[in-house]
Structure 1
């Protein structure tokens, strides 16, 4: 039975219309003749959603009792017994009531898919397990119902149900998402404009990665290795030579002229892993230049440079390659084509740009041939040296026994030398030894002696058979030795990785892990380096070209004597992601050793990231606990101070009325000042209380269309006679603003009182209102500033006004001039009758 197909309607937040889109899809499939049933739909009291479900068959839910309360869940057995073609199941990440057949609803959906039933479902981006901590940082809410990413990635189709954050907030205000009693809290907390924008970006980025994965999977399933130009990816090949900077800038210009393209730089380390030390610093500067131009730097190990370049290009779907003209001379190029020409011949549909530079054709005219693959230089020269010593010794012994053994016996003994040479050095030394042994046998053991001439045909045949047999035996012996070495290396690599993984599972710290790596590869010292945010500044008297700036590096952990403090200082450098690098002092590593070191470095990078996340979570919990404690103390203090302040004001009133003839003029002035101070202290306590309740989410908001004229009138009445001195500049008609009427009045009163307190009688405050498209701005300006710049913005009235304004969906900004301080309020507008 074929497995059913899964389609997910993905949304950035509740209320974007996922359930509505799912029901629309169900109605469309039903109209095409498909057998569609509703397994479970949660309309959440939304009238339009419930109406769209009409006409679709609904499988009755089954009831479960948990802790004395009855709950309803999807009846999985009933849906399986009904066996429709398509089942609509809402809220994929939902946790079932205890006692259900499965713990999670996605497990119920899996059972339907296994039964061959197609499922259409819904999911919010915040329920994905990999994004749970990111969503908590954005919204401050921990999602307890999560879904493994793998479940969502297995879906056959994922459709994003997108809605602008402003549109979603308007739906909330109109009561299309939540009941009216929940709208105010939702707008000021989870559904803040910044939260919705961040969640929408998360959904788009996650879905973009899913599209990229689908493209790569399709290419792999259909055996497509040629790049598809879905977007341009320009790769520049770096050798570590001085021409690299020219190539990087040329590739960057190509990238700039192609919008949406990506720049990559690749350095191919020789297969023996022996990078030239004088090139490490050059590569470090070139890497910094690539990253400063917005590109990414990569490194790989390969015997054949063109093959390594094209393999990386195919893996990364590169569309263009930029290479430098060869630095080799003409005679050397006649013997073997350069890297650029060989890359062009194998590149297929990938464009290859050959860029000229000052270093072109300035290299050595002739190079010694490289040793055969699979054999290091030490083994090759050791095998040749051993053959050079062994063949003369065998020849002396065979000459002494020539009368007893003859040519056949000598060839058998020489064959033993060929086999030994092949086991040590591989095929190339074996062939050299075979030719040398054949010449020695011809010279000393065939007629005429001490001559390379051969008289008897049988001797010619024997020598020819010997050379052929020696070639075959040498090839087989070299291959067997190579396979044996590879098996031993694989065993060693597995042992190294397993030891490191076991150490990570035991929770060892980073220095202990680095020490294990140092011992495994016999290195002198090892450092884990993390790149900082800024470049290292050169001395002022020294020139500072752009490519000479290096990023700042910090030592995260190290082991050994005098560990490197920067990547290019070490003999070995292994990048880990964009900000981490493993650097080490010690002997040069082979290509295989560098590859296994890269795997170890990746594990160490994972351990470092996991530790950082753990520490961050602990610090966040500590800060959250401290914030809760502070808020609790503020609430307690405000409640405790209210009664004493009220008693102090009552005492001042009684003191004023104590004398029958009334207090003197000076006493009246002092009593009035005391009462004003007590009232201000009481207002500060109230402001602290409201600020704490606002941050704790306990302040009730009722957002509705509010007439600004009414709010201004109430604010001026609260300010008393002093409020009449404020100059008003208002247009004849003002649109309604979306706000809480009481809180808006309070904000205007607080800002007006603050402006009056900092103004002089000659320069009274001014209030100006201006209607703009979809918003209204109110500007309150006072005539002078009596405090240093920036200090007024940190006062309690302005902080409370800003937080209250943002809670209502508006903004509050301030500007400070030479002799003026202005506060600007912005609110969304709502015209009556719209």
Structure 2
């Protein structure tokens, strides 16, 4: 991971004015936003919701305007009791897969606008068709509106810990929350409970209902899992507190290091032996269980010395990142002061540095660790000896040992400048004194140092001294000096060259750094602006190809997934890419290709575009200079641009999903309206036909006429049931399933359904097997009766006359099992039993039996609304078994009834 370099080392300890301005702007924005409080825990059942509701009761008692937007009690009585006295925000019903679900009403919350709003389960996924796909996005909109929000969150739902949690519990958690929401929260309240206490609560039914609790204790709620998740939650909270402490120290310009937590800062200089330094630091960090950051401060002479040391430093930083360290390249004029300032910025209590033995001729040179010890004795250091540099390496890294070919013109121009100054001085000597002429040589040295840097400046100083001595100092035409005062002049010229060259090198380094930052900021701002204006995937692709090719000087390709998650090259101007590599990168979310450890021989570098929800595509770069991405600044720029591109692709995707959902909802609404209108128009004629058949039957003579009237009545009654199903389905899709739950006897409901179908079932053998010890069930009797009528009518239609139709009911632990068994043809070939519950689906296509395939779909919706399940199980020989599982509940005593 790269640490963003946002500070400039300052020796006077004063805060950065730009940082102060940015902090002031952030405070102004925060004052307009609501405050987020998160009740954070390791698992369900530790008491997050109860703690939130208890605090809410205290706030209400003090007169604060607090509303419960959505609180999930999960059937727990103690949680429901804590809601008493709180204002509850009504939920709205939304249809999903033919079932009415209640969701948090965001618009009602914004209209009510309380001071504090309770929104339970931050990681909850909203029903498709809602304004936002995730509840945390609802919370962000509430915060932007200035409403304080209290919510709950488990550690397994944090996006950054998703892979770690899945490795611990063996299950990938699908509902995640971005880490920035947790990090930016105004307050995080940790709710902790020892694993043994949590397991005891689970057994007592205070976490889940008994059937769910038994399954949870065998899988997720194992003690080892609970211990690991508890440690993750506490560590993640400690990281957040540590970040808050660093912000506090930065805001108040506290320079002293607070060793509240072990954090190592490792400095590398670009020597090959720095790899050993990083390995030693990695082992030390592991023993101390400390965070560690590896940094390299680029030298201002890097361009003059060549790219050897810088390339070695980047390689070392890449190795440190593989070991799990954070890396950074802070800039500064003084390496020692920059390291100390960075350590204070990140509250690193120990510096780990390497040390080489000094050469004899470097007796005057102090190492970085020596300078830090002298200037900042309060900083703890761990110095690791490297041993002497190899001769080959020393020569390669010596800035003065060899003249790089690229610097030869500078030295040539410096020589020409000195020779020209000598010629001009010879002419001026006829007019001016020698003391004035020497100033011309000083001016030449200064100009050369300013133009070409320290090395050519020193060369010009030496050459100017030689020319001045040879041509103008007595005795002329020799290098002999009789007057010792000229030695002072020579030393002055050399000193001026050194000082001017060093200052010039520093200014150039600062200018290059500032120009690089401006280029990166401008590129990122331009990309963000262009992507925000793009409305389609094609426009985003065009912006990406144009921007990435210009910023990174590379050939660019983009691979995007289709409906079945197969990636294909996108964009007319993209160069051909290997779609098999792109598919691997998309599936695994890891980079591959050039410059990586996976398929390194590939032509380009394949990078996944990771959005907050998922990977949205693959970016392919074929760089003209592949080593360019080894620089941390370029890596940060690339990651920022890729993040912007991925977010833009995800935004367009969700816009398309929302439009598709809207069109589908409008189509469903139109179809339901049409069906309801037709059904209403048919009910009156059918009722008249049934009444007329009933009235004419007693007066008709026995024989064909009586049979004909009976057939008319049976068919009209069957059609009437179809119309009732149509009306009920349309009503439920529009308004949802509204239950009138009461305690009823299951025997009465079954008996009423059999009486309704007395005539259709007359051709079959009907057998009931109801357990005599069945308790009362809390259901909507009319709707459960409708379910049984549809199941029995289905059996009467599709089973041969004289076959057995069975209705059975029994109690199994905390559930009531109701079964309807027939001996019909069963499930048709090529389809699954559960497909029978789809709307307008029939078991026998093109059958002579009347029907439109709504009876079973309506039955499933009613059962699901009761919190129960219905399944179709094919029999071994023939027929099908419909199994309804209802929760038994806790029926009242006869006295209370």
* Post-superposition CA distance 1:368-421 (Å, at most 9, x none): 33989xxxx99x864443213541674487389669769978975665565455
Please list every run of 5 or more consecutive structure 2 residues that lacks an aligned counterpart in the other structure: 1-30, 41-48, 70-79, 87-106, 150-183, 193-200, 210-231, 363-375, 583-590, 595-602, 837-853
Counterpart pick for 1:510 among 540, 564, 571: 540
Q: CA deviation at 1:572?
A: 7.4
Hey, what does 1:369 align to over in structure 2? 397
Hey, what does 1:386 align to over in structure 2? 410
Hey, what does 2:653 align to over in structure 1? 612
Map 1:705-744 onto structure 2 (within 5 A): 705-720=743-758, 725-726=766-767, 728=769, 730=771, 732-744=772-784
Which whole-Å CA distance do the structure 2 matches of 1:530 and 1:370 have between them? 49
Which whole-Å CA distance do the structure 1 matches of 2:734 and 2:407 have between them? 78
1:701 correspondence with 2:697:
no
Q: CA deviation at 1:804?
A: 0.3
Larger mean Cα displacement after TM superposition, 649-658 or 690-699: 649-658
Which whole-Å CA distance do the structure 2 matches of 1:684 and 1:297 have between them? 68
1:462 correspondence with 2:502:
no
Hey, what does 2:168 align to over in structure 1? none
Which whole-Å CA distance do the structure 1 matches of 2:421 and 2:83 have between them? 102
Q: Determine helix, strand or coil for the equivalent of 2:884.
A: strand
Counterpart pick for 1:826 among 865, 879, 885: 885
Distance 1:455 1:614, change over 3 A: farther
Distance 1:42 1:389, change over 3 A: closer
Q: Would you say the 8 A contact 1:809–1:827 is kept in 2?
A: yes
Map 1:307-386 onto structure 2 (within 5 A): 368-369=396-397, 382-386=406-410
Map 1:96-175 onto structure 2 (within 5 A): 106=115, 121-124=116-119, 137=133, 146-148=142-144, 151-152=147-148
Hey, what does 1:808 align to over in structure 2? 866
Q: Would you say the 8 A contact 1:10–1:124 is kept in 2?
A: no
Distance 1:699 1:370, change over 3 A: farther
Q: Would you say the 8 A contact 2:871–2:883 is kept in 1?
A: yes
Q: How does the TM-score come out when normalised to structure 2?
A: 0.54
Q: CA deviation at 1:434?
A: 4.8
Q: CA deviation at 1:459?
A: 3.6
Distance 1:810 1:470, change over 3 A: same
Q: Would you say the 8 A contact 2:766–2:804 is kept in 1?
A: no
Q: Determine helix, strand or coil for the equivalent of 2:811.
A: strand
Which whole-Å CA distance do the structure 2 matches of 1:226 and 1:532 have between them? 52
Q: Would you say the 8 A contact 1:527–1:582 is kept in 2?
A: yes
Q: C-alpha root-mean-square deviation of aligned residues, in Å?
A: 7.2
Which whole-Å CA distance do the structure 2 matches of 1:37 and 1:771 have between them? 49
Map 1:564-643 onto structure 2 (within 5 A): 566=582, 568=593, 577-578=610-611, 579=615, 582-585=619-622, 587-588=624-625, 599-643=640-684
Map 1:220-369 onto structure 2 (within 5 A): 220-222=247-249, 368-369=396-397
Which whole-Å CA distance do the structure 2 matches of 1:782 and 1:159 have between them? 57
Q: Determine helix, strand or coil for the equivalent of 1:696.
A: helix
Q: Would you say the 8 A contact 1:529–1:553 is kept in 2?
A: yes
* Post-superposition CA distance 1:547-569 (Å, at most 9, x none): xxxxx655565756668975747
Which whole-Å CA distance do the structure 2 matches of 1:297 and 1:751 have between them? 64
Q: How does the TM-score come out when normalised to structure 1?
A: 0.57
Q: Would you say the 8 A contact 1:126–1:143 is kept in 2?
A: no
Distance 1:146 1:764, change over 3 A: same
Q: CA deviation at 1:819?
A: 3.5
Q: CA deviation at 1:754?
A: 3.4
Q: Would you say the 8 A contact 2:328–2:632 is kept in 1?
A: no
Which whole-Å CA distance do the structure 2 matches of 1:504 and 1:626 have between them? 32
Hey, what does 1:663 align to over in structure 2? 704
* Post-superposition CA distance 1:567-595 (Å, at most 9, x none): 74786777754535654455445776665
Q: CA deviation at 1:740?
A: 0.9
Please list every run of 5 or more consecutive structure 1 residues that lacks an aligned counterpart in the other structure: 28-35, 54-90, 97-103, 107-120, 171-204, 256-260, 336-345, 355-360, 536-551
Larger mean Cα displacement after TM superposition, 756-765 or 384-393: 756-765
Q: CA deviation at 1:671?
A: 6.7
Q: CA deviation at 1:221?
A: 0.6
Distance 1:93 1:439, change over 3 A: farther
Q: Determine helix, strand or coil for the equivalent of 1:830.
A: coil
Counterpart pick for 1:479 among 493, 506, 513: 506
Counterpart pick for 2:246 among 219, 238, 242: 219
Map 1:382-421 onto structure 2 (within 5 A): 382-391=406-415, 394-395=418-419, 398=422, 418-419=445-446
Q: Would you say the 8 A contact 1:18–1:122 is kept in 2?
A: no
Q: Determine helix, strand or coil for the equivalent of 1:819.
A: coil
* Post-superposition CA distance 1:15-74 (Å, at most 9, x none): 9897875444565xxxxxxxx55779999xxx9999979xxxxxxxxxxxxxxxxxxxxx
Hey, what does 1:358 align to over in structure 2? none
Hey, what does 2:718 align to over in structure 1? 680
Larger mean Cα displacement after TM superposition, 776-785 or 743-752: 776-785
Q: Determine helix, strand or coil for the equivalent of 1:715.
A: helix
Q: Would you say the 8 A contact 2:56–2:66 is kept in 1?
A: no
Which whole-Å CA distance do the structure 2 matches of 1:95 and 1:150 have between them? 12
Distance 1:655 1:711, change over 3 A: closer
Q: CA deviation at 1:693?
A: 1.3
Q: CA deviation at 1:829?
A: 1.9
Q: CA deviation at 1:672?
A: 5.5
Q: Determine helix, strand or coil for the equivalent of 1:521.
A: helix
Which whole-Å CA distance do the structure 1 matches of 2:725 and 2:439 have between them? 104
Q: CA deviation at 1:447?
A: 8.0
Q: CA deviation at 1:696?
A: 1.7
Q: Determine helix, strand or coil for the equivalent of 2:774.
A: coil
Q: Would you say the 8 A contact 1:764–1:782 is kept in 2?
A: yes
Q: CA deviation at 1:640?
A: 2.7
* Post-superposition CA distance 1:102-121 (Å, at most 9, x none): xx554xxxxxxxxxxxxxx4
Distance 1:484 1:751, change over 3 A: same
Q: CA deviation at 1:470?
A: 0.6
Distance 1:801 1:513, change over 3 A: same
Distance 1:513 1:708, change over 3 A: same
Q: Would you say the 8 A contact 1:493–1:596 is kept in 2?
A: yes
Which whole-Å CA distance do the structure 2 matches of 1:706 and 1:311 have between them? 75
Distance 1:314 1:658, change over 3 A: farther
